[in-house]
Amino acid sequence: MAMITIQKMSHEHISSVVELDLLCFGGLWNAQGYQRELESPNSDLLILVIGQNTGDRNEEVVFKSSNFQSQITYNHQSIIGIGCLWAILEEAHITILGIHPQYQRLGFGQLLLYTLMRSAWERGLERATLEVAASNFSALSLYHKFGFQDVGRRRGYYQQTGEDALILWRGHLHYPEFEQTLSEWHRQVVARIDGQ
């Protein structure tokens, strides 16, 4: 049975995460970059793991699913997603959200984004922002589903391609009703993944 967990990244994960970063982003951050994030009290650096439950208290068992047996092969534990946010004053700046290419379009991006947004809420942050490539329609669809709105554009933001980035923003994380929104997102995410 596949066990899907969200864990706080630790030093032992750096080499695997750098490999995943290379697959997802072409090498956005190196080992030193991830090391800095781990040492920063203003960063929440999370990994999405599929495999056996280790009983680690730093991991949250999201759910178990037998549906992945025929679709996904995994080692003892495989890191298939990474996400990071920076807490800057009252804002959560989502800096990384990536899922291994073989595991995309299965709902894992939704799960990771939900967890980052919940982390921002737990920190008491008021809003969230991020940049995304203007041509990344699947990511834009995901962010719009979570209530993000386009508020600007950074011309030539991505150095390798010269592509523009859209600036997305979502407010009201500190409003009382946002807790109910989180519960609804969680229900949708679990239904999406468990329905595979």
pLDDT at 54: 52
Task: Say if 46 falls within a structural domain.
Answer: yes
Instruction: With a cut of 50, say whether residue 73 has pLDDT above it.
Output: no
The DSSP call for residue 6 is E
Q: Is 39 a catalytic residue?
A: no
SS3 label, residue 150: strand
| CATH classification at residue 32 | 3.40.630.30
In a domain, 73, yes or no: yes
Is there a domain that residue 132 lies in? Answer: no
63 falls within a domain: yes
Marked catalytic residue, from 34, 103, 114, 131: 131
Report the alpha-carbon distance of residue 40 to residue 97 in Å, rounded.
18
List 34, 103, 114, 143, catalytic entry: 143
User: Does residue 100 register a pLDDT over 90?
Assistant: yes
Q: How confident is the model at residue 89 (pLDDT cuts 50, 70, 90)?
A: very high
pLDDT beyond 70 at 196:
no
Q: Select the highest-mean-pLDDT range: 55-59, 62-66, 119-123, 189-193.
A: 119-123
Average pLDDT, the chain: 87
pLDDT in tens, 2-61: 688 899 999 999 999 999 999 998 888 999 999 999 999 999 999 999 875 555 544 444
The candidate with the shortest Cα–Cα distance to 173, out of 165, 183, 181, is 181
In angstroms, rounded to a whole number, what is the distance separating the alpha carbons of residues 194 and 188? 10
The pLDDT value given to residue 66: 41
For residue 157, tell me if it sits in a domain. no
Check residue 171 and report its DSSP letter. Answer: -
Asked if the structure places residue 120 within a domain, the reply is no
Q: How many domains does the chain fold into? A: 1
Q: Which domain holds residue 103?
A: 2-108
Helix or strand holding residue 45 (H, E): strand 43-51
Q: Kindly report the CA angle at 58 between 95 and 37, in degrees rounded to 5?
A: 30
Q: Given this model, what pLDDT does residue 172 score?
A: 96
Answer whether residue 105 shows pLDDT above 70. Answer: yes
Active site residue 157: no
Q: Rounded to whole angstroms, how far apart are CA atoms 182 and 117?
A: 8
Give a yes or no: residue 188 inside a domain: no
Report yes or no on 139 lying in a domain: no
Based on its alpha-carbon atoms, the radius of gyration of the chain, rounded to whole angstroms, reads: 16
User: For position 76, what pLDDT does the model report?
Assistant: 57
pLDDT of amino acid 192: 86
